[in-house]
């Protein structure tokens, strides 16, 4: 394998990107960057300050005054907001929505994309997000767009939430509506809307287990690297 390798994994909410990206990074022995965590941290700040994520002026002002840092502890990514570790605070449904909403702001994107590019500049990384192949790492060595049907993604989310006892009364239909709404915002925003890059390979995981998807992507990478 070459000295430095950048792998972009994009796709909609709940398609299994982070599970897949983490496993690939582990197998290849390189860093993993979950860019969604950065948008989540910004969304959390807006929620804490009571700022509407679609209020362009206030969000633009807020972001100028915000520091986001990524560190790794035992291989696990931690995200810091203005010097505070917020890793465990950013996985709620409220923050998911705020992250998606704040991601429509071009100034937020500019700041976070710059940070992501700086992190990838001098090391091998598997980066997961929405705009990695198109905007963050347009020259990535490998680009995958991991997707699955809305129903399948809602089914997986239901299982996760059920198992962690955090369904909070939501039904499968509620989750389908939540995921479809997030897709709509992510795919229809003006700034860097979610869509597969022309040179990305689309991996539909609707009928694949996470292990099968990882195996498929790893084989693609190794075939090219060793071939
Ligand atoms: O990957 P995730 O579910 O943690 O991302 C949360 C939201 O953050 C997602 O709905 C849209 C936004 N996001 C983005 O706009 N660009 C990225 N590269 C990653 C996430």
> pLDDT (tens digit, 9 = 90+) per residue, 135-167?
999 999 999 999 999 999 999 999 999 999 999
* Average pLDDT rounded to a whole number, residues 23-35: 96
* Nearest CA owner, ligand 1 atom 1: 36
Question: How far does the centroid of ligand 1 lie from the alpha carbon of residue 212, in Å?
Answer: 24
Find the mean pLDDT for residues 25-49.
97
pLDDT band at 74 (very low <50, low <70, confident <90, very high): confident
Atom of ligand 1 nearest to the CA of 128: 18
Q: What is the mean pLDDT of residues 6-23?
A: 96
What separation in Å is there between the alpha carbon of 97 and the centre of ligand 1? 9
What integer is the mean pLDDT of 116-144? 97
Give the model confidence (pLDDT) of 195-207 as tens digits.
999 999 999 999 9
8 A C-beta contact, residue 206 and residue 148: yes
Q: Cα torsion for 68, 191, 202, 87, to the nearest 10°?
A: 20
Percentage of the chain lying above the pLDDT 90 cut? 94
Q: Which of 17, 21, 113, 130 to mutate to test the pocket of ligand 1 (most atoms within 8 A of CB)?
A: 130
- Ligand 1 pocket (Cβ < 6 Å) reads 13, 35-36, 39-40, 96, 99-100, 103, 129-131, 182, 186
- Beta partners for residue 127, in sequence order: 8, 33
- CB atoms inside a 10 Å sphere around CB 3: 6
Predicted confidence at residue 3, as pLDDT, reads 85
Distance in Å, CA 123 to ligand 1 centroid: 22
Best mutation site among 8, 18, 39 for ligand 1, i.e. most ligand atoms within 8 A of its Cβ?
A: 39
Q: Which of 140, 168, 131, 123 is nearest to 38 (CA)?
A: 131
Q: Which two tokens stand for residue 139?
A: 């020259």
- 39 CA closest ligand 1 atom index: 8
Examine the pLDDT at 11 and tell me if it is beyond 90: yes
How far does the centroid of ligand 1 lie from the alpha carbon of residue 35, in Å?
7
Average pLDDT for the chain: 96
* Token pair recorded at residue 63: 């972001």
- What's the pTM value of the predicted model, to 2 decimals? 0.95
């Amino acid at each position: 394998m070459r000295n430095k390798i950048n792998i972009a994994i994009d796709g909609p909410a709940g398609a299994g990107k982070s599970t897949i990206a983490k496993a690939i990074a582990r197998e290849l022995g390189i860093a993993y960057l979950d860019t969604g965590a950065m948008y989540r941290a910004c969304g959390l700040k807006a929620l804490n300050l009571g700022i509407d994520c679609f209020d362009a002026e206030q969000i633009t002002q807020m972001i100028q005054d915000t520091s986001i840092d990524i560190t790794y502890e035992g291989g696990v990514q931690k995200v810091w907001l203005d010097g505070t570790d917020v890793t465990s605070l950013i996985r709620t449904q409220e923050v998911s929505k705020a992250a998606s909403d704040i991601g429509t702001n071009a100034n937020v994107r500019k700041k976070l994309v710059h940070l992501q590019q700086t992190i990838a500049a001098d090391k091998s990384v598997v980066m997961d997000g929405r705009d990695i192949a198109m905007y963050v790492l347009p020259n990535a060595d490998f680009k995958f767009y991991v997707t699955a049907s809305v129903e399948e993604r809602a089914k997986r989310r239901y299982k996760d939430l059920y198992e962690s006892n955090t369904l909070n009364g939501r039904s499968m239909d509620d989750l389908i509506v939540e995921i479809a709404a997030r897709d709509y915002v992510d795919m229809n925003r003006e700034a860097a809307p979610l869509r597969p890059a022309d040179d990305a390979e689309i991996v539909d995981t609707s009928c694949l287990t996470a292990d099968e998807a990882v195996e498929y992507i790893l084989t693609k990478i190794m075939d090219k690297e060793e071939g």
